[in-house]
Amino acid sequence: MKLLASALAATIATASLVLAAPPAPARANVFCPVTIAAVQDLAILGRQGTYGVLLDLDAGDTASVRMRIDSATARYAVDFDDIGPLGPGGARARRYFVMPPGERLVSAWIESTGLRPDSRMECPITRPYAVDAPAPINPRTLAALEVDRRTLRDSFSTKTITVQPKSFGAAKVDTCSQPYAPPRAILPVQPDALPEARAVHATGTTIVRVDLDETSTVVGSAVVRSSGYAPLDRAALAAAQKSSYRTESFDCRPVASAYQFTVTFGN
């Protein structure tokens, strides 16, 4: 909490919404217990058509994962049925697959997870991969992604087990004016005026992570940065929950994502 001169008190009642900040990735367990952290084309190692994928797995009983992959012409599924026991903190798993001759990976996402191959639950598209998706803007995020890709390259050898995708039809080509778009607030709500905040001249910035499913419905929210004053945080959280959003667009498909809703009080 910051204490400012009383001349600033009148500005507390009108909070400004800062909506341009990059969104934080949605937590995997909000939507699906497994998400893709990185994908690496191993053609750089002379292995044409071979790819590595780094999976983030939440703590739990996941033992089987189906990853959906598309080439330019066909749809495939890759099954990883050898996921080991997961500890209380979750885990990361490196897996590798080989596309059919002449095929190249265009996009990928986790389709289903479960205890066994015959008991998987379908997942909404979350944290998908596409070869032509824009690179992360945040330098730290980009650097971490490069580390993950390097790990996939360095961990591969001639003894590494690879999986063959299963084909199940021709690729469906979707077209739209904006194939890739970040989540956004389309009807942001202003926080309520807080007499108790004005009384103590409280100001600050609250950041709320808003989790959206593929229909743009708010399915979760949490304060990820406090203003230092609980009433301001509660007001920002309530405003974030009442606002309307449009979720992320991936290759013309709406996908589950997270939006960073930021409110600055008293500037």
Domain holding 11: CATH number? 3.30.2420.10
* Residue 145 · residue 136 · CB < 8 Å: yes
- Domain co-membership, 121 together with 213: no
Residues 46 and 125 occupy one common structural domain: yes
Residue 256: band (very low, low, confident or very high) from pLDDT cuts 50, 70, 90: confident
Residues 138 and 234 grouped into a single domain = no
Domain containing 247: what range? 2-23+182-265
178, two tokens? 């904006």
Whether residue 9 is found in the same domain as residue 123: no
- The answer to whether residue 39 scores a pLDDT higher than 50 is yes
pLDDT at 15: 42
* Cβ atoms < 10 Å from Cβ of 246: 17
For residue range 122-146, list pLDDT tens digits in order.
Answer: 888 888 898 888 888 888 889 999 9
**pTM for the predicted model, two decimal places:** 0.68
194 and 96, same structural domain?
Answer: no
Closest CA to 182 of 130, 255, 104, 84: 255
Question: Of 24-33, 102-111, 185-194, 202-211, which range is least confident?
Answer: 24-33
Mean pLDDT of the chain: 83
- Tell me: the pLDDT tens digits for 194-214? 777 777 778 889 999 999 988
